[in-house]
Structure 1
Amino acid sequence: MDKKDFPDILYTSLEKMGGRAKSIEVYQYIWGKYENELRKSGTLFYLWQCETRKAVILLRKQGRMKPYMPAFKDIWEIQ
């Protein structure tokens, strides 16, 4: 597992969660599915939530996720 994997991990996780979820739910889903890989990933183990947030920014720039909405700041949603 590498940081470059996080945009796809995030997008796939949101797809499997119905396309929309609270950020904390996404973190819980990713941890549940990738815990073993994250534990073996070295320093990425300590940074994976930051990398997930960076993936949100990238996917929004690419138009694969809906833009930030202040009223729904805790919700992540794919296009």
Structure 2
Amino acid sequence: MANREDMMKWIVECLKARGGSGWPKEIAKDLWDHYESEIRASGDLVYSWQYDARWAAQKLRDTGVLKPVYGRTDRPWELA
């Protein structure tokens, strides 16, 4: 079953496929397009996966994998 930590790996994979940068809704679409079956098979994750993806992105920022956005919503997610 997939979890939030899996989302962190998936986000990095999606960003790499996009050249290192992408808007949250683009990444959400990529996650669904590539990992729908894992999300659906993971119980309640199917109801919270978009929230969990944002949580995962924040964890990736906290660990320096993603560039910080400093609370702004007008910046894409970018690999550091």
**Percent of aligned pairs sharing the same letter:** 32
Q: Which consecutive residues of structure 1, in runs of 5 or more, have no partner in the other structure?
A: none
**Which residue in 1 is equivalent to 2:7?**
6
- Shift in Å, 1:3: 2.2
Which residue identity is paired with 1:75? Answer: P
- 1:1-79 matches, within 5 Å, as 1-69=2-70, 70=72, 73-79=74-80
In 2, the alpha carbon distance for the partners of 1:75 and 1:64 equals 14
Secondary structure of 1:25's aligned partner: helix
Aligned mates of 2:3, 2:64 — CA distance in 1: 23
Distance 1:4 1:78 in 2: 17
TM-score (norm 1): 0.89
Q: Deviation at 1:9?
A: 1.0
- The residue identity in structure 1 corresponding to 2:18 is M
Matched pairs, number: 78
TM-score, normalised on structure 2? 0.88
Residue identity in the other structure for 1:56: A
Which structure 2 residue ranges, 5 or more long, are not aligned? Answer: none
Letter of the 2:6 counterpart: D
- C-alpha distance in structure 1 between counterparts of 2:5 and 2:24, whole Å: 19
- Deviating beyond 2 angstroms after TM superposition, the runs of 4 or more aligned structure 1 residues are none
Tell whether the 8 Å contact from 1:23 to 1:74 is kept in structure 2 after alignment.
no
- Cα-Cα RMSD: 1.4
